[in-house]
Structure 1
């Protein structure tokens, strides 16, 4: 009997460890986020927040450089972007960008040391495009980034490639018989909280503009046109939001009526713009420069690295906890703001796909 007990204890301990591994270790704190009685609390873990603080610290700056003096485009050769900056501003930004993106390689990560005007390194051409992308985000997507804006550091944080990017997954074969279409499920990844939810949702929603919907607007059978696969993919994306921002569902949704825009926190509208901003970045700034990258910088299907929510947020509800670096680099706000065609108006529940 004793031997039998010993034989049973070990599997029991292993099973307990497996079950508890899916739980978060205390302490846990809850912050009221909505009206009392609606259970709209944001759940935080102080231990995890403490670990995030250093990662979201803003790097030291010498302050804004003087705009006085000759222009960089006149003094230096082949300056195609930011050529209207003063030499002081241009030099200051080059030093800052080097520390943000290539602190180990230095200037030679983008430049030929024997001829800084040379365009032979692909990284230099990529950098030009990324500066234009940053300016577009800061001028055309203020409905999401507001006046805080972004810089190269927001995503890179001392890495050549941002730590949180995504590539397309190879096409999965449809299973035989009762297996059906795997739909990217049961392949646990961090972006979907290591759940059995589909893991390849980014191409659907952050590159393509597929509908994000679980609830229909009217009763069945005509109101809800979402398939089970689409519903599961939607939840996969929502898990990515939660993981990327370090929040739970109530940050954007009223749990009393998840589908209602009128009863939702303003963050839901912010998220609507975030999705379309990611589509803009990926389709107009990343995909078009795929050919600039060498094969080892591309994904398994030959596509370029693309942005998702974690690229900027990196576990914080606001990147760098809402500290703006733009006062020191005001030229990253780009040229005068132009009209943002389809995203200036706040969406209504009936006019948007995200229900």
Structure 2
């Protein structure tokens, strides 16, 4: 009798453990392709309700009535290096908005020395200036990813001094070594890869370095010559870890970007979002290397990561669980200073080389290659 009770308790405990990782119904499904192909998005209504409140855009400040021929901010204020071409009124409006987006509690003194706003001795002012240039670059040079919606400081900061979703290089993990070998970062149950067994650092290879993310061969079975696939399972695990990050960051399934018939295909049935994502990973890599990493020496030690590196951006930094940041709210158009042309070159025009008859990705659409 005791054995039977023990068995039932064990069975109940096992069942409880198995369903602990599941989400309770109801679950909503949205079809995005032909019936029977599995092209669909699965959503939890409760998660969507939470995300809706987190991705609500703030009110836009009232527009300034410009006075023709009025003075520019750079002629009135000292040491205005980025926004000097704005009118005095638009300059004040933009700076006020930035304060609300980034430092609503601290106010102007978060970046400025009280009584001497021209002073550059506060590190946050140096960082803010660089971030303004970065925002201008995104809005002017990466339309393949952000289109006309653009971004503002609020897209990442959401009223916080430091964006909630940033990443640092992780500390090297200790292991027993010896005959156990190197675990290659696996089985650490890190949030960065959805608590899976995949390598815990999916960001450094692709959002800082330019490691190849493709692991699929172009041909079946042959795999020789130019078609040879020398990618290993180990490389594939890093790719899958990054894909999990993408999925979690945007709150979508794999099929938001990929065709269920062939995940590697850039053909006519591939979703437009895959091309947008192709530009997105390159945009994040450029922002990290050209804007964030150069600021490493500017930040104090308490703002750096465990290995002494600066905070960096990934998909979650802007998206924060939404398929479009702030669900596509177009804030940037109300602040012309954030659309100023950047000196840096435009985003790369090159796209993945497609096989004959396959499509190559363009921003927001798919066209068939003539090759």
Task: Specify every segment of 5 or more residues in structure 2 that has no aligned partner in the other structure, as ranges.
Answer: 361-371
**Correspondences of 1:39-50 after superposition (within 5 Å):** 39-50=38-49
Which of the residues 261, 272, 280 maps onto 1:256?
Answer: 261
For residues 230-263 of structure 1, the C-alpha deviation after alignment (integer angstroms, 9 at most, x for no partner) is: 1000000000000000000000000111111113
What is the CA-CA distance between 1:29 and the residue it aligns to? 1.2
Deviates more, 1:131-140 or 1:262-271: 262-271
CA 1:6–1:104 in 2, change beyond 3 Å: closer, same or farther?
Answer: farther
Cα RMSD of the aligned pairs, angstroms, is 2.0
CA 1:174–1:272 in 2, change beyond 3 Å: closer, same or farther?
Answer: farther
CA 1:5–1:95 in 2, change beyond 3 Å: closer, same or farther?
Answer: farther
TM-score, normalised to structure 1, is 0.93
Tell me what 2:130 maps to: 129
Classify the secondary structure of the residue corresponding to 2:83: coil
What is the CA-CA distance between 1:21 and the residue it aligns to? 2.3
The answer as to 2:121 corresponding to 1:105 is: no
**Correspondences of 1:79-118 after superposition (within 5 Å):** 79-118=80-119
What is the CA-CA distance between 1:76 and the residue it aligns to? 1.0
Contact 2:111 2:123 in 1 (8 A): yes
**Correspondences of 1:142-221 after superposition (within 5 Å):** 142-172=143-173, 176-218=177-219, 219-221=221-223
For residues 281-340 of structure 1, the C-alpha deviation after alignment (integer angstroms, 9 at most, x for no partner) is: 000000011000000000000000000000000000000111110221022011278752
What is the CA-CA distance between 1:348 and the residue it aligns to? 3.2
For residues 182-227 of structure 1, the C-alpha deviation after alignment (integer angstroms, 9 at most, x for no partner) is: 1211111223121111110100011001001221112354322111
Which of the residues 256, 272, 288 maps onto 1:282?
Answer: 288
Contact 1:143 1:344 in 2 (8 A): no
The answer as to 2:268 corresponding to 1:267 is: no
The answer as to 2:225 corresponding to 1:224 is: no
Classify the secondary structure of the residue corresponding to 1:274: helix
Tell me what 1:65 maps to: 64
CA 1:289–1:200 in 2, change beyond 3 Å: closer, same or farther?
Answer: same
What is the CA-CA distance between 1:178 and the residue it aligns to? 5.0
What is the CA-CA distance between 1:67 and the residue it aligns to? 4.0
What is the CA-CA distance between 1:18 and the residue it aligns to? 2.6
Contact 2:249 2:316 in 1 (8 A): yes
Contact 1:213 1:234 in 2 (8 A): yes
Which of the residues 292, 300, 308 maps onto 2:298?
Answer: 292
Contact 1:81 1:128 in 2 (8 A): yes
Which of the residues 319, 334, 350 maps onto 1:328?
Answer: 334
Work out the CA distance in 2 between the residues paired with 1:178 and 1:65. 69
TM-score, normalised to structure 2, is 0.89
Work out the CA distance in 2 between the residues paired with 1:80 and 1:97. 16
Work out the CA distance in 1 between the residues paired with 2:146 and 2:343. 14
Work out the CA distance in 1 between the residues paired with 2:309 and 2:241. 22
**Aligned pairs, how many?**
350
Tell me what 1:349 maps to: 354
